[in-house]
A = this chain, B = another copy of it.
């Protein structure tokens, strides 16, 4: 059809969660159906690109010196929750109850994808543990082999000898999920993570 249009559609199709049809729909919406939508998207993309960066302390998104969580004086600086991505951090924040600080790894150890400790945001973690009055570290890392390896590395190389309380978030049956729908790994985790009912 039209080559700039195809280029836009291909670019949109490479974004996560978009296929051929949805990319076409977006491109037509931006160029034809909604005059101004293209301008608006370009403006907010430019603004976000210019002002959003990783928080130098925790790795969360931020627009000032540090992110909103790090800047919030009411957060409990004795607890640090280690997450893989900003997406995970935002999901934790939406869930609500956690009031400590975070540390975003920007990934997990994965030799097969070329991700070693140097590729993760681990260098800052020791420094933060020196500076902050941290007593507890919660490893909120995914329930797979790579997550397991990441936790192991952090415990052995960074947390060892600091006398901290270290935990991993619970794994098991998701809320609203029945046993027949759970896969074997989830059920194994749920059995291992069983709690006494008293």
Contact = CB atoms under 8 A, between A and B. Distances in A.
Contact of A41 (B11, B22, B68): B11
Contacts of A11: 40-41, 44
Interface in A31-61: 31-33, 37-42, 44-52, 54, 60-61
A54 B62 CA distance: 41
Contacts of A90: 1, 24
A25 B30 contact: no
Q: How large is the interface on A (under 10, 10 to 19, 20 to 34, 35 or more residues)?
A: 35 or more
A40 B26 CA distance: 16
A86 interface: yes
A54 B32 contact: yes
Consensus secondary structure, chain A interface: helix
Within the oligomer, what is the number of copies of this chain? Answer: 2
A75 interface: no
A68 to B, nearest CB: 6
Nearest to A23: B17
A31 B45 CA distance: 9
A148 interface: no
Interface in A11-30: 11-12, 14-18, 22, 24-30
Nearest to A43: B11
A48 B27 contact: yes
Given A15-B26, A24-B90, A32-B86, A4 B44 contact: yes
Interface of A: 1-5, 7-8, 11-12, 14-18, 22, 24-33, 37-42, 44-52, 54, 60-63, 67-68, 85-87, 90, 93, 106
8 contacts: A2-B52, A2-B68, A8-B44, A12-B41, A15-B37, A24-B90, A30-B48, A42-B42
